[in-house]
Amino acid sequence: MFEVEINIQGAGLAGLSSAIFLSNVGINVSVAEKYSHIGIAHNENTQAMRNYGQGEDLLSEFKNMGLKLKNLKPIYRINKYAPSLRKSIIYSKDKPLFYVFKRGPREDSIDHQLYDQAISNGTNFNFSYSFKNSEIDVVARGSTYNTGFGYGKVFQDVDIDDDLIHFLLDNKYAPDGYIYALPFGKHEITIASTSFRKNVFELKKLFDKFMVENKVFSELVEGGSIKHDFSGTGFYSLPKTAVIGRKYYVGGAAGFVEASRGFGDYYAVKSGFHVSRAINEKLDYDKLWRDDFGKELFEGFSKRMFLRGLDNSGYEKLIPKKEKVEISEYAKLSKRILKFFLELYSVKKLNNWRQEYPLIP
């Protein structure tokens, strides 16, 4: 074991992954978590990670990195709806488009699985506890700012397709955001609404109205019952540096969230991996994460800036005209639109954003 001990503030996906990767190379790790148990920060809900647009399958990527994860379920289709409810089905025949999994305190959640692995590696956990600022080496405390909001419900005893996600753009119910439905098996579905404009309280009211008025999403949960609701906030950014005052920022704390669709879990895990290499091999953390996913985050940021300006008639045009589109064809379409985004929304907007939402030591 090394003499040095690394203190990680926060036991979400970024903090837990950092702990596993650091302890895998023999470094002593202590984690402080402000809640009394793992996963409390995210009430149980289903989340998704994108598996398209990157070479390796996520499951083998995680396995090769040394993570032991079970219960990630493959998704092969996504129904994308315009505000008029016109739909286009994006599908893949072989490689899953997404994996869905549980977040939260459940034993089969990925939070809990990572926690079990960190414990078996010898990580020291301090619950209901925070390190003093001067003691922290890795900042993994989740969103530094609230630039996005989410509210949703988990429904049980439903009867649904277990390999199909539903996704809707509609400013009436999710202003400057989107609504999604993620299955977890055939009998449970999480439906949630996100907004980069309305807070959680306002979103909840809009969500309840939506579930009464929208026939596609309300039909999904027909005959089922509500298990519970959940809410949360997110922070997206692309910092110039994620090392502030000798502290490494990982996951949501650094703003590592793909801003167009709110995907942050993958970057939380990957930044944990990069921070462990930076510490263990004395490498440049900023270079590691930027080379790995900086481009993706910049594209996501540009898309978000573009989407912010759209009303429902603009959303209507974003959903492909064809009823069914294979993922490689869809990726080509998206690339063409993205080129347009990037020309319009460049580094200037990002610099303004960084000034508005700086990482603070």
Q: Residue numbers of the site for ligand FAD (CB under 6 A)?
A: 9-15, 32-35, 41, 47-49, 130, 140-142, 150, 192, 232-234, 251-253, 257, 262-266, 268
Q: Which residue is listed with tokens 């669709």?
A: 261
Closest to ligand FAD by CB, 71 vs 316, is 71
Nearer residue to ligand FAD within complex by CB, 50 or 290: 50
| Minimum distance of ligand FAD from residue 330's CB (angstroms) | 19
Closer Cβ to ligand FAD, 314 or 358, answer by number? 358
Beta carbons within 10 angstroms of residue 135's beta carbon: 12
List the strands of the sheet with 243-244, edge to edge.
124-127, 28-33, 5-9, 138-139, 247-249, 243-244
Q: How far is the CB of 264 from ligand FAD (least distance, A)?
A: 2
* Helix 265-281, helix 13-24: angle, nearest 10: 30
Q: Which is nearer to ligand FAD, 81 or 256 (CB)?
A: 256
- Kindly tell me which of 81 and 263 has the beta carbon lying closer to ligand FAD: 263
CB 310 within 8 A of CB 176: no
Identify any residues that bridge with 101 across adjacent strands, giving them in sequence order: 47
Q: How far is the CB of 235 from ligand FAD (least distance, A)?
A: 8
Least Å from the CB of residue 348 to ligand FAD: 26
185 Cβ neighbours under 8 A, 6+ residues apart: 73, 162
Contact 249, 266 (CB under 8 A): no
For residue 77, which phi and psi values (nearest 5 degrees)? -140, 150
Minimum distance from residue 121 beta carbon to ligand FAD (Å): 17
